[in-house]
Amino acid sequence: MPAEWAPHRGTWLSWPHRESSWPGKFEPVPLVFVEIVRELAHEEVHINVTGAEMEAEVRRLLGEAGVEIGGARAKRRVFFHQNPTNDAWCRDHGPIFVQRETASGRREEAIVDWGYNAWGGKYPPFDLDDVVPTRIGTKFGLRVFQPRIVMEGGSLDVNGRGTLLTTESCLLNPNRNPELTREQIEQRLRDFLGVTTILWLGDGIEGDDTDGHVDDLTRFVDESTVVTVVEEDPRDPNYAPLRENLERLRGMRDQDGRLLKVVTLPMPPAMHHDGQRLPASYANFYIANGVVLLPAYHPPTDAIVRDILQRQFPTRRVVPIDSADLVWGLGSFHCVTQQWPAV
């Protein structure tokens, strides 16, 4: 599995339509997706829609916002696919692309289609989401591997050289694969993603209904460096688990036995909606060709994080986009995107 910063052919999105994912606050969410497409349309953007009616509506929204989706005089950059979905979290139900080099030196790609059960059966139905990767593989004539294990893309982060980061709270949760041991889960990751070294963090952040996805905690930013969120307020419930994860990271080594370089990011101030703690985290950024989409929550800390990430990605623009409405659905930009690496 290539690292996220490797050159992309494009990005996959599943257009939002499940209003219950943003109860009482759905109206602004499609406009956040419009901003995502606007910033990503210099690479291909592939959008799953439920049918022709939704495609027409999305085309209208993009057109009204001045987003060029292709035409007689413009190179086509936005593509629509009538793949019905239950929800918009494409990181978790979308295709994981893997690559290998053939004996002739040619690179070929395939898709890994994990089993998907909406984070332990929390939000049925999820049958449409579960088959999205295979539908995409069929459309593009790609081989599809089915490991027959429940897994979500947001629970994994790789450096593209053989090292994978994940969490015990998610992958070892009995609501995913109760019949598998830790060692058996690790073997599936090695078999289907080509990794050799698996690094385990502990618990996730408060309000994260995924049971602790790593993309809200710690992310590779190059082959040997991670950024990880920390909470400075000892009274905050996130303080202790994030400190424990930080201590683990400082002793972790990559596939070549080298200690990881660890850079810390602050957490935004605690966010609540209708009395519920939201999983607002700056680790949920998305890396694309030439740009990093940064969820923005609080201008003073947004600026600090932007500066830190800009130093990590000197050849990309770090673009903050307001994520206060999106995160009410309990996820942000990394959760709704899935990269399609270039071959």
Active site residues: 335
Residue of 79, 92, 102 whose CA lies nearest to 9: 79
Count, in order, helices (H) and strands (E) of the chain. 11, 18
Give the Cα-Cα-Cα angle 26, 31, 36 (nearest 5 degrees).
120
Q: What backbone torsions phi and psi does residue 168 show, to the nearest 5 degrees?
A: -70, -40
Q: SS3 of 78, please? A: strand
CB contact set of 120 (below 8 Å; sequence gap of 6+) = 173, 175, 176, 211
Residues 6+ apart with CB under 8 A from 12: 46, 47, 48, 90, 94, 95, 136, 337, 338, 339, 340
Alpha-carbon span 167 to 214, nearest angstrom: 6
**How far is Cα 178 from Cα 193, in angstroms, rounded to an integer?**
21
Asked whether the beta carbons of 282 and 265 are under 8 A apart, the reply is: yes
Cβ-contact 274, 328 below 8 angstroms: no
Let me know: does 15 contact 46? Beta carbons within 8 Å.
no
CB-CB neighbours of 43 under 10 Å: 18
DSSP 185-232: HHHHHHHHH--SEEEEE----TT-TTS--GGGTEEEEETTEEEEEE--
CA 254 to chain centre: 21
Which residue reads 């916002």 in tokens?
65
Question: Which single residue is written with the structure tokens 């949760």?
Answer: 173
